[in-house]
Amino acid sequence: MFGFGCGSRHAGDGSHGMVALIASLALAASAYGQGVGQAADAEILFRFPVGGVTSAGPVVGNGLLWLLSDSKTLYVLTLDGVAIGKTVLEQRRLPFIATDRYGRAVISSGETGLAMVNRSGREVWRVEVGAAPATPPVFGPDGRLYVVAGGTLYAYAPNGKKLWMTTLGDALGTGVVIGPGGGPAVGLVDGRVLLYSPDGVESMPLNTSSPLVALGAGPDGLIAAMADGSLSIIGDTIAVPVAARMAARPLAVAASADGYYALDASGSIVALDTNGTERWRTQTKMDSALSGFVAFSERLVLITRSSVRSFGPDGSPYRTLALRNTVSTPAIAPTGTVFAGGADWILYAYRFEKAFTMASTFSVPGIDLDAVDAVAREEARWSSGSSTDDATMMRLVDIEKSIESGTISGETTRTMLYLAAVASGRMEAPFGMGALKPGPMPGGALPRARACELLGRLGLPQAVPILVDVFKDDADEAVRVAAARALATIGIDPEGEAFVAFAAAAATRLDDRSARAVVSAIEGLYRSSGALDDRSGVLALMRIAGGTYPRDVLDAAERALRSLSWAR
């Protein structure tokens, strides 16, 4: 696709002279095995030419590597060095590259904007937050994006729809992390820790002993480090000070399934168990500015501009990788590979450790049908006309206003459940309406189709299974079309359910409107991800392109196939 393909594993033109030159300019590295007193040359797994010095990244996320060179080119690589995407940006520098669990990344766009980029390098969406982000954004488990700008915390759905915002009331002392409930958590300079649910509901602020300087997220809680060297373990409702203290001002904290870790400016590292009891303490040399502090199961990794060091489960030094002539922040992948940009315009990948043990991958659950039915029963209990078409449409208009204004704070989940109940026809008739003929409730196609549209605009991947079922099962063509379009609007198909449903539906002749909607939805989903991870969508397009449809439908399917083939 990009002209370098598999050649991305080496320096470029293949000449012996160029290879020798690159070898002479390469970053010097050495690795020390545990208990081994002699240095050995670190194995270079690949070299990748980036057309300039690396000015942002490399950043590892979801099995991909992202970096920007000062040639204004953003690259997306696999962890074994194969280029799968690139794009030219307007800027030579980026303050951050934040990756999500769907193989995409958010980068800054101008002074006050955010842009989502898919793995092929194409922009998916762009939003303005009104001020420069104070710290890098973070992604929640389901792909919601949280960012602080201008003293305000914003939450966006994975499709870029603003869900809610709240004013923090004081300056940040830490970056934004994901709290125990899956929502954002921030530390303020006044010593307060603010915890929010994914829907924006704030819990009681937790007070610590002094201004916060670092906050880290673990599987079951947070670790907070204060300016005076004290530490606290934070759960949903309580901040518990721990006995261990740092010798100097803390620089960073980290967490894994094993417990919590803190590093201070003197190079002292403290390890705590999940209850906050000190497990071990060690001293290391801070040879240059801190770049990363990462915890894996039974391994802690300290990254500076000039070295990468790992520590075993008892705190003993395990491996060291010394780097020279680096011009970027090194990064480490769960595979144990270290990536660093060199002054010679080359990205280097070094074998450093064996693959680390990672926590199990989070799976986004679909909407709970019992919860959907509970909302439907509640609506029927309190509203005499909740399931009539007119009453439902009025309610949907109100929901649309809150979605469009980004003021759905606190009601996101309940709104999603209500929309799912309407879209799937699971609403209950209000008491006293008497016997009704079998069929979906509400009975009209318009409110069900409208609810599908609003589920898409809400943008949460939890709604995908419901919309897939509506597409497969609803008897009305307009509702099926709305469900397909809503899936494209969400832009994420985490388990490939939508693509499979489209391929199955296209195995027989679809009505013309549904065929058009399927083609458009497949294009939208592939455009959002930038990859062909699931070929069921291509199969659906091939079936439609080879079917007996009007010329415009056939042309649309063929154009989509050509576009997706090029993107490969």
**484-511 confidence digits (pLDDT tens):** 999 999 999 988 899 999 999 999 999 9
Question: Tokens 């309580």 appear where?
Answer: 238
The rounded distance, in Å, linking the Cα atoms of 42 and 191 is 43
Q: Is pLDDT of 385 > 90? A: no
Give percent of the chain with pLDDT exceeding 90. Answer: 64
pLDDT of residue 39: 32
Contact 216, 222 (CB under 8 A): yes
Q: Which residue has the higher pLDDT, 466 or 368?
A: 466
Q: What are 269's strand-pairing partners?
A: 263, 282
Residues 6+ apart with CB under 8 A from 17: none
Q: Is pLDDT of 108 > 50? A: yes
Measured CA to CA in angstroms, residue 22 lies from 25, 74, 343 at distances of 5, 22, 11
Q: Is pLDDT of 37 > 70? A: no
Tell me the mean pLDDT in the region 10-31.
37
pLDDT of residue 133: 94
Peptide bond between residue 58 and the one before it cis (omega within 30 degrees of 0)? yes
Q: Is pLDDT of 460 > 50? A: yes
Q: Strands of 54-61's sheet, edge to edge?
A: 54-61, 64-69, 73-78, 83-88
pLDDT of residue 386: 56
The rounded distance, in Å, linking the Cα atoms of 34 and 313 is 12
**In this structure, how many other beta carbons lie within 10 angstroms of the beta carbon of residue 390?**
11
- Res. 235 pLDDT band, cuts 50 70 90: confident
The rounded distance, in Å, linking the Cα atoms of 127 and 160 is 7
Q: Which of 56-65, 72-81, 333-342, 421-430 has the lowest mean pLDDT?
A: 421-430
Most confident of 244-258, 392-406, 423-437: 244-258
Q: Which of 135-139, 466-470, 534-538 has the lowest mean pLDDT?
A: 534-538
Q: Is pLDDT of 173 > 80? A: yes
**In this structure, how many other beta carbons lie within 10 angstroms of the beta carbon of residue 151?**
13
Question: Tokens 């079951």 appear where?
Answer: 220
Q: Is pLDDT of 98 > 60? A: yes
pLDDT of residue 367: 85
Residues 6+ apart with CB under 8 A from 532: 526, 538, 564, 567, 568
User: What is the overall mean pLDDT for the chain?
Assistant: 86
- Res. 17 pLDDT band, cuts 50 70 90: very low
The rounded distance, in Å, linking the Cα atoms of 144 and 161 is 10
pTM above 0.75, yes or no: yes
pLDDT of residue 41: 60
Q: Which residue has the higher pLDDT, 406 or 373?
A: 373
Q: Is pLDDT of 433 > 60? A: no
pLDDT of residue 437: 53
pLDDT of residue 9: 40
